[in-house]
């Protein structure tokens, strides 16, 4: 509720998708899909998920209202995570979960306005956490009680994605390439991640109106760790799709595996920085990614 105070003793981590993947094993091409996953494309109990999509019980309804309200007020707040994928891919079966957190993004130069807007919209801040960590992350409870994580300037999970330069390209979400990279940078990719990636690749091809090839190549060409994780995940997709065809979106405008192959080729051909080349000599002998840490609220 809007007047409830967040439980500061509760431990949470960086955005919802990251937190959950720390609690489950990575998905391999031979894994069985969890019993709670609808192979046709809806996570959770199929009837329940289909029944709440688009209703007040659907987290996207509240999240979209908050982000659209911010846009109407001239305040820069964008969606991240699985809810952003749903906005970008509205024609595909949604992955719906009643208790899904809202993951948002903003820029440091406007974070004070963002905090003021969220409070005016009925969201309850964790003032102590925000005072200590607001330069990189803020935490609120939505009017419904759902947790809201607001990432400032960048998302730091297995790798760090700085989204400042591309922040304003889309009205309600971060740019397509940024949402895609937030999924492809996950070292232990699970079913939800694979589904979201394949939906994005089915909805958008590489190009000016889709997945920004220049930004994709720059991120991967400047950091060997990013390159290693993303190329590994792109290479896993054909086997995962063959073993679990329900992960593929129905009748997509683009062949997701074809787009994945094109991005893999782009990653190989991208100009590599000196830092990339030096780190490549070490290779996988040293861990090239971070493990997201829990943050107490």
Q: Calculate the dihedral angle through the C-alpha atoms of 15, 124, 134, 83, rounding to the nearest 10 degrees.
A: 30
pLDDT the model gives residue 283: 97
Which tops the pLDDT comparison, 145 or 1?
A: 145
SS3 category, 44: coil
How far apart CA 291 and CA 268 sit, in angstroms, is 25
Q: In this model, does residue 59 exceed pLDDT 60?
A: yes
Q: How far apart are CA 167 and CA 216, in angstroms?
A: 15
Residue 173 tokens, joined: 């979400």
Sign of CA dihedral 30, 35, 41, 44: negative
For residues 59 and 147, the answer to whether their CB atoms sit within 8 Å is no
Q: How far is CA 63 from CA 79, 80, 131, in A?
A: 8, 10, 24
Q: What is the mean pLDDT of residues 142-167?
A: 96
218 or 31, greater pLDDT:
218
Please report which residue ranges of 106-175 form alpha helices under DSSP H. Answer: 111-120, 127-133
Q: Which residue has better confidence, 11 or 192?
A: 192
Q: How far apart are CA 103 and CA 80, in angstroms?
A: 5
Contact of 168 with 118, CB cutoff 8 Å: no
What strands lie across the sheet with 147-152, from one edge to the other?
A: 78-79, 102-106, 147-152, 137-141, 124-125
- Indicate if the pLDDT at residue 81 is higher than 90: yes
236, 189 contact by CB (below 8 A): yes
Report pTM. Answer: 0.83
Has residue 6 got a pLDDT over 50? no
Q: What is the DSSP letter of 128?
A: H
> Measured between alpha carbons, how far is 286 from 218 in angstroms, rounded to an integer?
23
Is pLDDT of 150 > 60? yes
Q: With contact defined as beta carbons under 8 Å apart, do 288 and 2 qualify?
A: no
Q: What is the largest CA-CA distance in the chain?
A: 55
């Amino acid at each position: 509720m809007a007047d409830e105070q967040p439980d500061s003793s509760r431990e949470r981590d960086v955005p919802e998708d990251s937190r959950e993947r720390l609690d489950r094993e990575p998905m391999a091409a031979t894994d069985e899909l969890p019993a709670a996953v609808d192979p046709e494309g809806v996570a959770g109990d199929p009837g329940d998920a289909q029944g709440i999509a688009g209703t007040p019980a659907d987290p996207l309804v509240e999240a979209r209202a908050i982000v659209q309200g911010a846009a109407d007020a001239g305040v820069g707040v964008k969606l991240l995570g699985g809810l952003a994928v749903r906005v970008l891919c509205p024609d595909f079966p949604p992955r719906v979960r009643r208790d899904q957190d809202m993951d948002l993004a903003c820029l440091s130069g406007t974070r004070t306005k963002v905090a003021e807007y969220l409070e005016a919209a009925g969201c309850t801040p964790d003032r102590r956490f925000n005072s200590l960590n607001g330069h990189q992350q803020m935490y609120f409870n939505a009017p419904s009680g759902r947790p809201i994580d607001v990432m400032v300037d960048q998302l730091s999970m297995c790798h760090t994605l700085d989204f400042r330069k591309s922040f304003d390209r889309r009205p309600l979400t971060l740019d397509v390439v940024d949402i895609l990279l937030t999924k492809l940078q996950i070292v232990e990719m699970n079913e939800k991640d694979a589904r979201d990636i394949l939906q994005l690749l089915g909805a958008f091809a590489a190009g000016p109106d889709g997945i920004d090839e220049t930004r994709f190549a720059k991120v991967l060409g400047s950091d060997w760790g990013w390159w290693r994780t993303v190329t590994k995940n792109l290479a896993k997709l054909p086997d995962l799709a063959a073993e679990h065809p329900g992960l593929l979106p129905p009748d997509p405008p683009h062949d997701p595996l074809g787009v994945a192959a094109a991005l893999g080729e782009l990653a190989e051909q991208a100009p590599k920085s000196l830092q990339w080349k030096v780190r490549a000599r070490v290779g996988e002998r040293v861990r090239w990614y971070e493990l997201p840490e829990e943050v107490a609220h």
